[in-house]
Chains A and B, each alone.
Chain A
Amino acid sequence: LRVSASNPNERYSRSEVLALLLGIFLLAQSFSLLVPPFQSPDEFNHLKRAYLLSRGDVFLQSRESVTGGDVDDGLLEYMSCFKGLPFNYGAKITSRTLHACGELPFRGDRTFSALPNTAVYLPIPYIPQAIALYAGQQAHMTVSDAYYMARFLSLATSLAILACAFRVYPVPLVAVSLFVMPMAVFQLASASLDAVSFSITLLAAALFMRGAEKGRPFPVYAHLALATCLFLLATSRIVYVVLTLLPLMLYRVQRSPVFLVSAAVTLSLSLSWNLYALMAVKGATFNSELTPIEKVRHYLADPGSLADAMIGTIFNRPYWQGMWRAFAGLLGWGDTPLSSAAYGVLGASTLALTLISFRWTRAVLRDKGAMALVLGAVISLFALFSVALVSLNPYPAKVIGGIQGRYLYPIVILLSVGLCRNPTQPVARRIAFGLFALTAAVSIVSSVPRLLHRYWIATF
């Protein structure tokens, strides 16, 4: 599949692609050295899910009203070493912790452990972490070594997926710059699901835009790759189910009924998994006395309460300021903010890069592929807030809480691929690369001191 674009100047040279990937790799590895294990939100449960996958457990069991699985005692012991860090700024890593926990082996004995929030995901994106944990056990490595290998393989897989995206489509630099934002780098450095799912989103968007180009063949393997990406997205977050319909647009362009079939199959499989997860997984959070379905009924019966929640969210300036901070970089378990200056510079550089890359001409409106991607992103955004409203908030809600900034990354990636293009003028292109470099540099300059203080240096 040859990279394509209406304007060849939008493409990257091989050295540029290598530089971008190497930059992301170095950033993420730097973070990985500084961040102790399990400091990404819910990373404990993400790794348990990967461990269970390494044992071949795809469908998990429930005991005492909570879904989980039998996890190695050595892994659980290793996890407990780092459970005191989240939400407690005063807690730091000590040499005693590193020494005591770094040598823990896999025990072989297993104990049931709950992981309801990650049990709802189809575990395929955890394959890199699962391979690392499996190999670690087979090679009698320490749990710590296996864990860091899981981080590394997750990052390497993500970068390989990004490389595929560059191969098929000139992904706008503004979309790539999202991967060097502190929040994304932090997630790329972790062993959680986000690294792979962000990359899969970019690859799905790239494949779709490539397939939506008129007069260009779209090979079967590319089509299969797109369907797989969309399926993985829709089974890792239910709000992206609508994206499985994107092949319908490719049918209009490519005029092949196979796209209708793939849309139907992907949608059916995604809905099947999500339905299974909703029915089988016990203990997933809904912090209310009403079930989500009951809340939907209440909101439909009283549209005024729905309007209150929407207005209370949309016109809530502190809410969006907090959302921006969480999107740009609220590290750790949401307990490690960057400086206000860093948020400002990251905002300015992202805005400038978006303005330079934005397709200001009306041609974007005639680009059905781009519009379909944007529509999919907007519907996913609406679905994200709707699901949060009825699952994470009490009824009636005044503001839709519970949405973390990182949840928005796939949506913003889709929007940026749909609405932006790489600038073609040499000067604008150079400025765009300068802004990208600025974002990456600010990530390092602003995050490293914060991470050092958060995890390693006692404040007094």
Chain B
Amino acid sequence: MRVPFLSVAPLIAGLSVAACDVNDRVLTAKCRAAPDEAIYVDVGKIQGGSLGLGRLNVRQLQLGSVLEIVPDGPRSTRDTVVVRHLMNAPARQITRSQGGATYPAFVELEIDMDPDLREALQQRSLMGVDEIAGDTRILVADTLLVSIPDALERMNMEPRMVEVMRASHGNGRFAVISSVLLGGDVFLTSSLAHGVPVATNTFKVAGLYAHISYVCPAVDHLRAVAISSAARIPLFVFLTPVAYDESHHRIVEDPRPPDDMKFGSIASPQTGRH
């Protein structure tokens, strides 16, 4: 009788233990609805310098577009006008990394979770909203970072461009999309740096598996466009603020930071402002 028992005992004991399942909780991290572009990516230092933060390119802007951002448009709303596209400005790949890549993301989140998970997190001082937001990263598939290295020079070579900026008399702020992060797919994901990770976007607390689920319509929309496109699309845009220098009669880099340049409704040069 010993032999069958030896064969069956570990089976029964092991199955009994393994059958103890865990409880799942979904921690929903919702991106704040507006503005759509308030999801930023940091690609780090590139060739010794910084590109600043890249903005989620919900508006499908293109590399080389020159934007005029008017704080108070005709409808008392912020307008963004694509005044021109740089002509004959060759783009150049400025990083050598390729394939899939993750970058730190900056995004405002609203966290929704079950009370028992919230209580468990509070008891352990784990993973508050700030930590979850701070751990959020952007995962880009088939990534490629391209840039127009001499965008300012190119702008000054186009008389119509200089004229448009000169005529604005400082009413709006201008920026050129000098770099774009291209990709074939985009996700928000968590590095789980503040939790006890057990899987991608999953950490363990008090015997629960907490799964972070990002709900970001702007990212989802861009994903859908990227997935259905044959080629990579610009997922994030990097702005170089520019201004017209009256004393030198040329376009120069605007020393004011681009951080407060919030996009409004977009109008193209063909259709004019809204």
Contact = CB atoms under 8 A, between A and B. Distances in A.
A7 interface: no
A398 to B, nearest CB: 14
B101 interface: yes
B246 interface: no
Interface string A107-119: 0000111101100
Interface string B199-220: 1111010000101111100001
A12 B177 CA distance: 68
B34 interface: no
Interface string B138-154: 01001010000000000
A66 B21 contact: no
Given A114-B184, A459-B26, A460-B26, 7 more contacts: A64-B231, A65-B98, A90-B215, A330-B199, A337-B199, A434-B7, A438-B15
Interface stretch (A145-153, A218-226, A285-293): A285-293
B185 A83 contact: yes
Given A349-B14, A435-B10, A285 B231 contact: no
A361 interface: no
Contacts of A91: 213
A381 interface: no
A22 interface: no
Contacts of B209: 337
Nearest to A427: B3
Contacts of B120: none
A88 B213 contact: yes
Given A117-B99, A442-B15, A334 B231 contact: no
Interface stretch (A206-214, A240-248, A338-346): A338-346
A112 B228 contact: no
B187 A434 contact: no
Interface of B: 3, 6-8, 10-11, 14-15, 17-22, 24-26, 28, 46, 93, 95-102, 114, 139, 142, 144, 184-185, 187, 189, 197-202, 204, 209, 211-215, 220, 223-224, 227-228, 230-232
Contacts of A441: 11, 14-15, 18
A337 B10 CA distance: 23
Query: Which 7 A-B residue pairs are closest in the complex by CB-CB distance?
Result: A285-B99, A90-B213, A89-B211, A434-B7, A337-B199, A442-B18, A335-B200
Given A89-B24, A90-B213, A116 B99 contact: yes
Interface of A: 63-66, 80, 83-84, 86-91, 111-114, 116-117, 282-291, 322, 325, 330, 333-337, 339-342, 344-346, 348-349, 352, 426-427, 430-431, 433-435, 437-438, 441-442, 445-446, 449-450, 453, 459-460
Q: Kindly name the residue among A87, A291, A334 whose own CB sees the greatest number of chain B CB atoms within 10 A.
A: A87
A111 B8 CA distance: 55
A459 B27 CA distance: 10
Contact of A291 (B19, B96, B144, B199): B96
A431 B97 contact: no
Given A283-B142, A289-B97, A87 B187 contact: yes
24 contacts: A63-B231, A64-B231, A66-B142, A66-B184, A80-B227, A87-B201, A88-B201, A91-B213, A113-B230, A114-B142, A285-B99, A286-B97, A287-B99, A287-B102, A289-B46, A325-B199, A339-B20, A348-B14, A349-B10, A431-B6, A434-B7, A434-B8, A441-B18, A460-B26
A433 B18 contact: no
B227 A83 contact: yes
B198 A325 contact: yes
Given A87-B201, A289-B96, A334-B199, A442 B211 contact: no
Nearest to A394: B97
Nearest to A449: B21
Given A66-B142, A112-B230, A90 B26 contact: yes
A335 B199 CA distance: 5
Given A89-B211, A431-B6, A339 B26 contact: no
A284 B98 contact: yes
A215 to B, nearest CB: 36
A345 B99 CA distance: 37
Nearest to B146: A65
A250 B224 CA distance: 54
Contacts of A114: 142, 184, 232
A341 B17 contact: yes
Contacts of B189: 87
B18 A342 contact: yes
Given A87-B187, A89-B26, A430-B3, A445 B18 contact: yes
A116 B100 CA distance: 10
Nearest to B102: A287
Given A289-B95, A334-B200, A453 B17 contact: no
Contacts of A289: 46, 95-97
A225 to B, nearest CB: 34
Q: Kindly name the residue among A114, A282, A325 whose own CB sees the greatest number of chain B CB atoms within 10 A.
A: A114
Contacts of A346: 18
B17 A345 contact: yes
A78 to B, nearest CB: 12
B122 to A, nearest CB: 19
Q: Kindly name the residue among B26, B139, B200, B215 whose own CB sees the greatest number of chain A CB atoms within 10 A.
A: B200
Nearest to A343: B18
A287 B14 contact: no
Nearest to A80: B227
A441 B96 CA distance: 47
Contacts of B232: 64, 66, 114
A195 B201 CA distance: 26
A89 B211 CA distance: 6
B15 A445 contact: yes
B7 A337 contact: no
